[in-house]
Amino acid sequence: MPGSELLLPTLMLLGAYLLGSIPFSYLVARSFGVADVRRVGSGNVGATNVMRSAGAPAGALAFLLDAAKGAGAAELARLFTPGSSWLPAVAGAFAVLGHVFPVWLRFRGGKGVATGAGVFLPLASRSAGWSRWPRSWRPWRFRWRCSGSTPGRSSPGPRWRWRDW
């Protein structure tokens, strides 16, 4: 049947977007007593705003769940298409797009930091660990939480040494 070779990648990318668009931070904040996390703090649906508005345990849970949906999208694509080298990475990008533009919240979501971090776990697990060290000390040193996400994304460091694929 013509076009059937595109059916599985298309379904994988659609599924990755829908998985990424599950608003775990919104749901965690609601379960911790915050009516609408978009109306408090920065107005963002993300783990950092959940931590500010609902507390550190809620923020940690939101971060883990947001990272898990990124890791899940990339890992599922890797398992279902073992010969593909590009589909897991693109599925991870679609999960991040789903987090940033969730269909359930009228396309107004978070920034995708936790989901993007989760994407790297199944794709480049050793490198993902090394690239997180700039994130670990900056927020406590400068007392500004977002100061950890930009250096963590942009620091090449030992990431270029190992190739996990």
* pLDDT at residue 73 tops 80: yes
- Average pLDDT of span 114-121: 89
Residue corresponding to tokens 């939101």? 62
Q: What percent of the chain has pLDDT over 90?
A: 41
Q: Is residue 30 domain-resident?
A: yes
Q: What is the pLDDT of residue 88?
A: 92
Burial of 56 (0-12, 13-18, 19+ CB in 10 A): exposed
pTM: 0.77
Q: What is the pLDDT of residue 43?
A: 81
120 touches 128 (CB < 8 A): yes
Q: Which bin fits 14, alpha (ψ -120 to 50), beta or left (φ > 0)? A: alpha
Q: Is residue 146 domain-resident?
A: no
Which structural domain range is residue 16 located in? 4-123
- Average pLDDT of span 19-40: 91
Element (H, E) at 132: none
Domain total of the chain: 1
Q: Is residue 160 domain-resident?
A: no
Q: Is residue 133 domain-resident?
A: no
pLDDT bin (cut points 50, 70, 90) of residue 123 is confident
CA quadruple 114, 112, 65, 9: dihedral, nearest 10 = -120
Element (H, E) at 119: helix 113-123
Q: Is residue 165 domain-resident?
A: no
Winning range, highest mean pLDDT, from 87-96, 118-127, 152-161? 87-96
Q: Is residue 22 domain-resident?
A: yes
Q: Is residue 162 domain-resident?
A: no
Q: Which residues contact 119 (CB under 8 A, 6 or more apart)?
A: 70, 71, 73, 74, 89, 92, 93, 95, 96
